[in-house]
Structure 1
Amino acid sequence: MDHLAPIRRLAAQPVDIAGLFAAEPDRLARLSLSACSIHADLSRLALPAAGLELMLEAARAADLAGWRERLFSGAVVNPTEGRAATHTAERGSGSAADTLAATRSAAAADALANRLRRDGTRHVIHIGIGGSALGPALLLDALGRDGDGPAVHVVSNIDGEALARAMAACDPATTRLVIVSKTFTTLETMTNAETALAWLAAAGGSRDQCIAITARPDRARAWGAGEVLEFADSLGGRYSLWSAVGLPLALRCGPEALAQLRAGAAAMDAHFRERPLFRNLPVLAALADVWAAHGQGQQSRAVFCYDERLRLLPAYLQQLEMESNGKRVTRDGAPVAGPTASITWGGTGTDAQHAVFQLLHQGTVVGPVEFVAVTQPGHQLPSSHHRQLLASCLAQGAALLKGRTFAEAQAVSGGDDALARAKTFPGNRPSSTLLLDRLDAETLGALIAFYEHRTFTAAVLLGINPFDQWGVELGKELANAMLAGTDLGLDPSTADLMARAGL
């Protein structure tokens, strides 16, 4: 059943966001919500009260509550692979078997982290790709500056330059390799692993310095990894940082940091599972996302983090949201009736203000803009830095809404009408703000879990499976065939490019 058909019938009807505050006296209270040290203000999005009611009806009709319970209970929510999705079990919510396995895996990772933090290991090269690299990199960049453990270098790109830079920063005698691959067959990861192993061997090292993190421990042991940490086959890569894949954070900052990360996520799990839909932070955000795409025809969503420690969050969200919900068929294989995942992009404030905000304020592409900021700074420099940062963040949201009329622009243009038109801002552009009380492991865990549940909620509304990713496979298959010299019968352009590239 197409639960979003009533919303699409309203598509492209303009919404006067500023006017909504006058028409809906309770708007700010209704669309602002605090949970797990995160305050979300969604009131400046183009979502009127009537639209929100339609979205809530769609969520009930799609059985969001039932799918949510399936997720937390360990039932199958990934039908194309016949699997549960057990990332919540890594933080304590799942079937008894899943949570027990997660607890044992966490204990093994903690023990290894404690040992390596004591044994003279100074550097770790963490090799993975996709969720096996994006999550650990985000955690390290956000929380690792003041860690007292080994320096961790995350390598994902098959481009040898990435691995060469990491190896140049390390002494092989005091370096460990952490190789993360769910199947332990990922081409980029295994190629990088073999090259890094050869670098170790050239200096007298061995496979004993290699730690494998995988859902296929048999393959890792056959490869010769010195130590193996296992995670569940039902744990998707983009949801895996809660498992042993989060080892880099435990190495750098201690196992307690990874435990606090999980605790923050568990708090958001409880909020998502227990709160009613209309006062549920991930649900409200997802309803607004789907409304923007289906009710307003806006399929671009920008995320700007006004905190240097969160500079990798937009890249992390790109995989989480677009790999999860970038689908063209429903769970049962039928074509989707409307847009699915938006194009997620973004950057870091205030850098982005001097780069892409021109398009946001005066360009012809309109879509929701999400600001993420932290009340407390992460440094001890003069307070002027953080005050300017927060003022810039809040001012951008206000400017997107307020705009500048032609008459106002004339007043600052010396009577030059052409210049006044260039200085006119249409305004009425949607934005939301997430304001974190602080940025520590617990709050970061809650923030990431918020985005996970938001993505899941949108998937339920759309009727799609967010836990498979068949779209990444075809390109891999063709690349492998090219390397093997197989005649693929490809188009003339690709054949010519292969010849020019020497393939």
Structure 2
Amino acid sequence: MSDAIWSELKALPKPSLGELFADDANRLDQLATRFELGVGGDASGIRFDWSKTHLDAAHIAGFEKLATDMDFDARRAALFAGEIVNPTEGRAAEHTAQRGVGKAESVELAGQYHARMASLVEAIHRGVLGEIKHLIHIGIGGSALGPALAVDALAREGALCDVHVVSNIDGCALEAAFAACDPATTMLAVASKTFTTIETMTNAESAIEWLRDGGVLDPYGRVVALTAAPEKATEWGVDETRILPFSESVGGRYSLWSSIGFPVAMALGWPDFSEFLAGAALMDEHFRDVEGLANLPLRAAFADQYYTRLLGCQTRAVFAYDERLALLPDYLQQLEMESNGKSVKADGTPVDGPTAPITWGGVGTDAQHAVFQLLHQGTNIVPVDFIAAIFPGHDLQPAHHRILLSNCFAQGAALMAGKASEDPARAYPGNRPSATILLDEVSPAAFGALIAFHEHRTFANAVLMGINPFDQFGVELGKEIAKQIEKGGTTFDPSTEALLELAGIAS
């Protein structure tokens, strides 16, 4: 049935953005929605504006029909019920339970884990473990990208702890963190689901040596382990009182809400971390309870599928017009491309069209002077998401933020309208799509809702394509070959052999 629906969608007329606005006076009301937060007495919210995308009534009806055909309601219900939604690994995906929305037993367990983490965070802040000014958080992938983004977004001023996130096995990254910290007042957080990840554990061993060389008599006493394998952390040398577990059903790129968020809580304090969870929970409830086009993540997925499947767009760009969200495009790259960059469906059969586009992007006005030439006049059609906040994160003259937001809104208007010219080099075709997410402010609650929105958008896209967004076998092959190189005795292709020889690495 889905093949027939896709055929119907492809056959529909594709009006221009200008025509869509001209023909529908209610378009803005239908496709621009305010999401209310109201967490902790905060009356702020987020505006999600998808009116500058090419979604029209006919395509929306077709995508809603597709969602029904792909059992979207049942898949969504299974996600929140803690049922197996990752069939290749036989697992549930219970990141929403970390925010208090999901299977009752899982929510209760997450609450217990959070209480344990809150106690440790508050004890460290009270000085129970001595004077702690710095935290070096060591992880990789989802164990590092989420914490790095959240700390950068929310803890630029007034941080309760100076947090440095290290993921790269390149020693330069670790040395930079060492240079910024005093071993006498530094703790380590080692984040690994299995506590065997080679990059993370190698960096952790070097950090232990740095503490020891810096005069710390019991360096393992400075380690907090964030893991789903607490016994492995104990074997490595971490005392059980400083092991913060999380559930096996919480995937790496969805783990920020679990004990992987420890460095965020260290930087912000537990009350703000709780608001971060609460904002995400509001988005969870919206995604769980709202139907059709009014469901914000599903609406975004409709537009994503329009551009990827119907127009053949191979990329999607994300531009944060807020320095605090500079790492958001990097975070979304992993979330979307690792989740939906698949070539088979959940049942193992080949996909019948493109899946995840390449997610890329940058920061505000910097990107305008680098890549926007292609967006406005290039031959590639690139859907763009603009993300900004009404209230700035600084106390400088209002002109700074006024110019920033003016540029953000102007780019969306220019992409849509274009500009005719008798000089082809100065002509802008227009009719180029964008969406705008406008936060009132970058608060913990708003940031939590923003990240949860993208998680659910990713899941909704997966359902519409019939794929499993929760496995990631594509990251394994290269790592396996790297291990073979480390062990030696294996022959590779001539190019690889030559590179190994030049680098002084025996195969």
- AA aligned to 1:491 is D
Equivalent in the alignment of 1:59: 67
Equivalent in the alignment of 1:414: none
Distance 2:74 2:3 in 1: 15
Equivalent in the alignment of 2:41: none
1:185-200 equivalences under 5 Å are: 185-200=196-211
Q: Work out whether residues 9 and 62 of structure 2, in 8 Å CA contact, stay in contact via their aligned partners in 1.
A: no
- AA aligned to 1:160 is G
In the alignment, does 2:489 pair up with 1:486?
yes
Q: Work out whether residues 123 and 175 of structure 1, in 8 Å CA contact, stay in contact via their aligned partners in 2.
A: yes
Distance 1:55 1:12 in 2: 12
SS in 2 for 1:204: coil
1:403-454 superposed Cα distances (whole Å, 9 cap, x missing partner): 11124xxxxxxxxxxxx22111111111111111111000000000000000
Deviation at 1:246, TM superposition (A): 0.6
Structure 1 residue runs without a partner (length 5+): 408-419
Equivalent in the alignment of 2:120: 112
SS in 1 for 2:256: helix
Q: Work out whether residues 385 and 435 of structure 2, in 8 Å CA contact, stay in contact via their aligned partners in 1.
A: yes
Distance 1:99 1:31 in 2: 33
Equivalent in the alignment of 1:93: 101
TM-score (norm 1): 0.95
SS in 1 for 2:427: coil
Distance 2:388 2:122 in 1: 33
Distance 2:370 2:172 in 1: 27
In the alignment, does 2:237 pair up with 1:212?
no
Equivalent in the alignment of 1:299: 314
Distance 2:346 2:340 in 1: 11
Deviation at 1:185, TM superposition (A): 0.7
Distance 2:4 2:451 in 1: 27
Q: Percent identity?
A: 53
Equivalent position to 1:393, from 386, 399, 408 = 408
Shift in alpha-carbon separation, 1:312–1:337, aligned structure 2, 3 A = same
Distance 1:7 1:400 in 2: 28
SS in 2 for 1:350: helix
Equivalent in the alignment of 2:503: 501
Shift in alpha-carbon separation, 1:3–1:310, aligned structure 2, 3 A = farther
Structure 2 residue runs without a partner (length 5+): 37-44
Distance 2:395 2:121 in 1: 29
Give the root-mean-square deviation of aligned CA atoms: 1.4
SS in 2 for 1:241: coil
TM-score (norm 2): 0.94
In the alignment, does 2:440 pair up with 1:442?
no
Deviation at 1:248, TM superposition (A): 0.9
Equivalent in the alignment of 1:158: 169
Instruction: State how many pairs are aligned.
Output: 490
Equivalent in the alignment of 2:261: 246
Shift in alpha-carbon separation, 1:462–1:208, aligned structure 2, 3 A = same
SS in 2 for 1:426: coil
Distance 1:242 1:110 in 2: 13
Distance 2:465 2:186 in 1: 46
Q: Work out whether residues 12 and 58 of structure 2, in 8 Å CA contact, stay in contact via their aligned partners in 1.
A: no
Q: Work out whether residues 135 and 164 of structure 2, in 8 Å CA contact, stay in contact via their aligned partners in 1.
A: yes
Equivalent in the alignment of 2:192: 181
Equivalent in the alignment of 1:417: none
Q: Work out whether residues 373 and 435 of structure 1, in 8 Å CA contact, stay in contact via their aligned partners in 2.
A: yes
Shift in alpha-carbon separation, 1:138–1:3, aligned structure 2, 3 A = farther
1:348-400 superposed Cα distances (whole Å, 9 cap, x missing partner): 10111011111111111112011001011111111111111110000000000
1:271-307 superposed Cα distances (whole Å, 9 cap, x missing partner): 1111121211111001110111111111210000111
In the alignment, does 2:19 pair up with 1:19?
yes
- AA aligned to 2:95 is H
Equivalent position to 1:460, from 442, 459, 463 = 463
Deviation at 1:147, TM superposition (A): 3.0
Equivalent in the alignment of 2:31: 31
Equivalent in the alignment of 1:424: 427
Equivalent in the alignment of 1:411: none
Pick which of 26-35 and 341-350 moved more. 26-35
- AA aligned to 1:90 is Q
1:42-95 superposed Cα distances (whole Å, 9 cap, x missing partner): 111122221111111101111111111111111111111111101000011111
In the alignment, does 2:178 pair up with 1:167?
yes
